Chains A and B, each alone.
Chain A
Amino acid sequence: MPLRIKITLRLIMGRRRARQLDVFAAFLAALVSIPAQADEAFVTSQGADSLDVIDVTTMTPLARLPIGGKPAGIAVSRDGSRAYVTSPEGKFLTVVDAKAHKVDRRISIGAGPLGVAVSPDGGRVYVADLYGRRLVEIDPEKGGTRSVGVGAMASGVAVTPDGKTIIVADRDDNAVSIIDAASFTRVGTLPVGRHPFGVTIDPKGARAYTANVESDDVSVIDIAARKVVATLKTESRPYTAALASGRIFVANQHADSVSVFDAATFAPVGTVKVGEYPEGIAASPDGEWVYVANWFSNELWSIDAKTLKVEGKAETGDGPRAFGAFIRKTD
C-alpha cells in the first residue's frame, strides 16, 4: 500500500479510525499485489474437447477454448507467449496465443501426438507420437519438421533448460530415449520402471524424473551420467511428477493422492489427498505452489508446496488431463 494513501487517510479520518483502516489497507495491498503473480493454468479437458485457462491465484476460470481431437498434452513456452496442445485423436497440434487466450492455428502431426515440450528459446516444439514410435520436431514459425525414431508408445517429453537434450518416455519399452537436440538423433536409451508416462527435468538440468505407471514408482535419472540414481516408491498408478520447493510431487491416479519426496535426500515427506484420478501436475514458477488436474472429478486443485495443504479448487471441463508443463507465468 503506497505510503501516500495511508497518510491521506490519517489526515481525513484521525488516528484511531486510521489504525483500523490500516488493517483494511493491508488487505487491499494484498489484493493489489496479486495480479503481478497471477499465473495461469492451461488445462486440457479431453472429454470436453477444450482447453481451460484458469487464474491459479484466485482459482477462477478465464477462458475455455475449443480444441477438438481429444486434447491431452500441453506445453506453455517459457516466455509465456504460446501454448501448444496435442490432440491424439485429431492427430494435430494446436498453437495457442497464450496471452490473448486464442487459438492461433493447427499443425497436422499424424498417428497419435501425445506428449509435448517446447525448447527454452521457444524455437522448437517436440511432440511424442504415441502410435508412430517417433518424436517430431516442429519449427512453429517456419513450419518445418523433422522426426527421430524412439521406442514403443512414446508418451511424456521434456527438454533440459539448456535446450541440448530431450528425454522421451517410451512407455511400452519401460525405458527413456535420450535425444541430442542439435543433431536430432537418438543418442541413448535407459531402462526405468514399468511403463514410464510423464517426464520432468529439474531447473538445473541435472536430473530427470519418470513416473512409472505399472511399477508404482519414480525413476530418478542423472542426465549427464545417463544412470538411474534412485527409485522412489509411490502410491498406485503414478502419472507424472512436478518439482517445487526442493520437493518432488507425484500424482497417483488410482490412489487419489499426491506423494511428496525431498528432492535432495529422496525421503518421503508426506501424502496429500486430492480429487479423483489426479493426472497432470505442475509447479508455479516461484515454486510455492503445485497444481493438480483431477480427471474424474473435473477439478484443478492447488497445494501449498511447503505446508502441503490444499488451498484452492477450480472447476474444469470434463476429463482434465493437463499432461505437460501447463503453468504460464504472466509477467
Chain B
Amino acid sequence: MNMKVIATKALFFTLSFFLLLSLLAQHGCSKPRVKKAVYVLVDTSGTYNQQFDKVQIVLRYLLGSLQSSESLALARIDSESFNEKNIIARMTFDSRPSMANAQKRAFLESVEQFGNNIQSSQYTDITGGILQAIEYLNETQATEKRILIFSDLKEDIKKGQVRNFPISFDGIHVVAVNVTKLKSDNVDPREYQKRLEQWSQRVEQGGGYWKVINDLNHLSQIIE
C-alpha cells in the first residue's frame, strides 16, 4: 500500500470526523441552551388559602418538567413576605438524575407538609414576595426566570410598609395563575380588570413579561 492510498484514507477519515463534528455542532448550536428557574408564590391570606390543591397540581407538573441543574422554589405570601422564612422549599436539582429524583421527592414531601398546615395570614404582601423571588432567581443564574403567583392579586399591606415603588424585573416572566375573583369583583368586574392591568403595567415597566393563566388545563404554557 503506497503513501497515496494512506493519504487518501487519512483524508477520508479526517473529513468524516469533521463532518460528524460539524453535524453535532449544528445540532447542538441550533438552539441556545436553556436553564430554568421557577419561583412559586402562594397567597395564604384568608381570601385565597382554599386554593392550595391547584398549587399542588402545578407544582407536581413543574417537578415533572424541570431538569437537572434547574431550580424550583415555593414561598408563601403573608403579611411580611420579603423574608427568607417565607420560603417553604427551594432546590436546584442535582446534575445526577438519580439525585435529582430524590430531591424532587423531598420537595414534594415539603409541599404536602405545608399544605396540611397552612395558616391564614391577615395581610397580603405580594410585592415583598416578588422582591424575595427576584432575589432568589437572580442568584440561580438561570437563563429563563419565572415567578408564578397564586393569588387574587389584591395587595393588602400593613400600615407603615412601603411597597409603592418600581421593581426591576429584568426579563423575568411573571405568571399569575388561578387569579380568583373577589366578592367585590362581582359587584364591579372592572376592579378585577383594573387589578390585573395594574400588575401588568408594573411588571412590564420593570422590564418583565406578564401573563395570566386561569385555566389549569394549559399547564404547559406556564413554563413555555
Q: Do A and B come from one complex?
A: no
Interface residues of B, Cβ cutoff 8 Å to A: none
